[in-house]
Amino acid sequence: MADPVSGVVAVALRNPSRLALVDMRTSRVTRVVPVPGAARHLQLLAPGGPVIVPGEDTDVVAQVDLRTGEVKTQAKVGRQPHDAAGVDGRVYVAVELGGNTTVVNTDGTVGPVLPGPVAPGGVAIAGGRVGVVDVRGARLFVYDAAAARPIGQLSAGNGPTHAVPDGSGGIVVSDTRGDALLFYRLGPEPQLVRRVPLKGSPYGLAVDQARRRLWVTLTATNQLAGFDLSGTAEQPFTTLAAVRQPNTVAVDAESGRVYVAGAADSTLQVVDPR
């Protein structure tokens, strides 16, 4: 997760559970702070933070200050929160082994538990709607963010995993087993707009809204693909070598610099694309 407001890139570490806070200017780790659970994914609640940390091993969703590393709130949710995204202070949590989407209120208390995916995965919010990927059921569940209620569900390929807002009111889903990117419009009527084939098991996603670029990690080939969202994004404009097992990608919207986390070697790759 990259935040140009604080100038921090946050990387989740395990055994023990920590966050490494990296200075964007120097690409150096400035602080490593303990967190109440091992996270697989991190998202910003708002520009400048805090960062949302879903602890898969403790069932705790925490919010952590990016500048100080202080844990601001903690909420106990269902079994194995996988991903979480926030809007207007409210956090939507994909509870993977609980088979639901849990809402954490602005005061840190647990709110509604919404029916949803069999195995919730990635979460993305766009245009007042929340999209939650069902990894096992290959569906996209859509909720109204303000009302915290289900809107509907759509087909999501053969094996979707993650999702990201596209910066134009829609979201992009990586269909990892189906070797494709799925582009959705979430409102007023949710619909799949197009499917773009992409070999290599697309997985991690990040959007540079300033440059209208989508970055996708390819875990089967250890590559990073870049797409131009100002057009139809049918083909990548670049494909770069990446670290081994590139599970996560983030982008600094100010500089355009891309950060790729490699799970195999616990490395952070910094890319300055042209």
What is the tens place of the pLDDT at every residue in 108-128? 999 999 988 999 999 999 999
User: Which architecture does CATH list for 101-197?
Assistant: Beta Barrel (2.40)
Domain boundaries, the chain: 1-76, 101-197, 202-274
The Cα 173–Cα 203 span in angstroms is: 9
Asked if residues 141 and 134 have their Cβ atoms less than 8 Å apart, the reply is yes
The Cα 14–Cα 144 span in angstroms is: 33
Asked if residues 132 and 145 have their Cβ atoms less than 8 Å apart, the reply is no
Coil, strand or helix at 160: strand
Neighbours of 38 (CB within 10 A): 18
Right CATH number for 1-76 from 2.10.77.10, 2.40.10.480, 3.10.20.440, 1.10.1510.10?
2.40.10.480
Max distance between CA atoms of the chain, in angstroms, equals 45
Judge whether 1-76 and 101-197 match in fold. yes
Asked if residues 222 and 241 have their Cβ atoms less than 8 Å apart, the reply is yes
**pTM summary value:** 0.96
What is the tens place of the pLDDT at every residue in 80-103? 999 999 999 999 999 999 999 999
Right CATH number for 202-274 from 2.60.40.10, 2.40.10.500, 3.30.300.30, 3.40.50.10140?
2.40.10.500
Neighbours of 27 (CB within 10 A): 12
